[in-house]
Structure formats: structure tokens, C-alpha cells
Structure 1
Amino acid sequence: MLMIEHPVLGKKVEEEITFYFNGQSLKARQGQTVAAALIANGIKKFGVSRKLFKARGLYCANGRCCSCFVTINGLEHSISCNRIVEEGMIVASTDGDPVIRSEIDGN
């Protein structure tokens, strides 16, 4: 739900920006978190849990539960409820374990 006119704060319309989720172009309001922008676009499933493969999405909305992990601009397991969406941001579902640095470097 987007509140354009607040009874106390008045009218405030944020600039609309574009970001991408799993290759799909979506719109968001400047200042929204990634999770809020996804919810506003009707996306409730952000990925699946790594063990039981159950749907993951927004739960606590304050960064403590880690249920809203997504990949943001290539950075895996980013917490989407604390990250502000940016113009051209590329967001993808997180559907498994993160790549461990030792696996990449061979250490």
C-alpha cells in the first residue's frame, strides 16, 4: 500500500525509479527498501529456503530473521528489508547456499 497523502505529514510523492527482479523490470518509489518495492509489485516470494525448499519472503521487516535474503547487484544473501532500492539495481532470488570464498579462490 502506498500512502500518497498523510493526514499529518501532508502530501509527498517520491520519484519513481526502475529496478530489476529476476530479469523483470519493476517500478519503485525512491526511498523504499528492496523488500517494500518487491511487495508493492505483488512479489511475495523472494526465494526458497536452502534445506526444506520452502518459500521465503518478508517476515520481521527489521533485518533480524534473515528470511528476506536476495542477491543484490551480485552480492548474495543481502537482507532486502534494510537496503534502499536504487535506480537500475539488479535483484535476484536467493535459492541456495552462498558461494564461499574458499570455493572461488581454491583455498
Structure 2
Amino acid sequence: MEILHHPVLGELPDAERITIDFEGRKIEARPGQTVAFALMANGIVALGRSRKLRQARGVYCASGRCCSCFMTIDGHEHVRACVTRVRAGMKIRQNTGDPQVGRDLDED
């Protein structure tokens, strides 16, 4: 699910890859990609579940305006994955509920 050949730009150069952790699974990403699109390039489109109906959520606006792509990234809950760039070793989890307000990030 990655554009490797662009109709105007042609072939994309083979870029270096970094490794990120999604739900305990190691996946590869390109530096500069957002978290959401790195996951999509690896076939992961369900980024979380809706709180009320528990339905799959994914990228909707891709510009940080909605809340469909909220994820827990490096212990920070409800981070917009569509505008957050990947970093090597990043730990990404699906949100499973409301954020714990006042929680110390060192507790994990």
C-alpha cells in the first residue's frame, strides 16, 4: 500500500528503512513517513477502535483535524498518528479507551 512508481515523478528511490514497534510487532518504515502511513504501508489500516461501538477506526482527514487516528505513541495517549513522523524504535499502540488524565508517563 505504498506508491513506488509515480505517474509523473517516476520510480521512487529505494530509501533507508527504520524499525518501529506496533503492538509488539516490528515493522519497517521510511524516515519522514507519518505513523499512520507507515502502518498503512505495512497493511495495517485499523488504527484503533471507537469508544462506544468498538468499530475499527483509521485515517479519515489525514491532516490532524479529526480524531480518527488517535494512537498511543511512546506512552503518550491520544496522539494524532496522521501528523506524527516516525522515529526509529518508536512504540505504537492502539488506543483502548479514554486517556488517563494525570497519569505519570514513567509508570509504564
Bucket of the pairwise TM-score, normalised by the shorter protein = 0.7 to 0.9
Per the normalisation by structure 1, the TM-score is: 0.86
Match of 2:17 in 1: 16
SS of the residue 1:85 aligns to: coil
SS of the residue 1:27 aligns to: strand
RMSD over aligned CA atoms reads: 1.7
SS of the residue 2:77 aligns to: strand
Give the deviation of 1:11 after TM superposition: 4.3
Pairing 1:28-39 to 2, within 5 Å after superposition? 28-39=29-40
Query: After superposition, what is the alpha-carbon deviation per residue over 1:4-60, rounded to whole angstroms, capped at 9, x for unaligned?
Result: 454347643321110010000000111100000010111111111112211111111
Pairing 1:4-83 to 2, within 5 Å after superposition? 4-6=4-6, 7-8=8-9, 11-83=12-84
Per the normalisation by structure 2, the TM-score is: 0.85
Runs of 4+ aligned structure 1 residues displaced above 4 Å come to: none
Pairing 1:84-103 to 2, within 5 Å after superposition? 84-101=85-102
Q: Quick check: which has more Rg, 1 or 2? A: 1
Which is further off, 67-76 or 56-65? 56-65
1:5–1:12 Cα contact (<8 Å) kept: no
Give the deviation of 1:2 after TM superposition: 2.9
In 2, Cα distance between the equivalents of 1:69 and 1:11? 29
Give the deviation of 1:86 after TM superposition: 0.7
In 1, Cα distance between the equivalents of 2:9 and 2:39? 27
Provide structure 1 residue ranges, at least 5 long, that are not aligned to the other structure.
none
- The one-letter amino acid paired with 1:100 is V
Give the deviation of 1:92 after TM superposition: 0.3
Provide structure 2 residue ranges, at least 5 long, that are not aligned to the other structure.
none
Match of 1:2 in 2: 2
- The one-letter amino acid paired with 1:37 is A
1:69–1:77 Cα contact (<8 Å) kept: yes
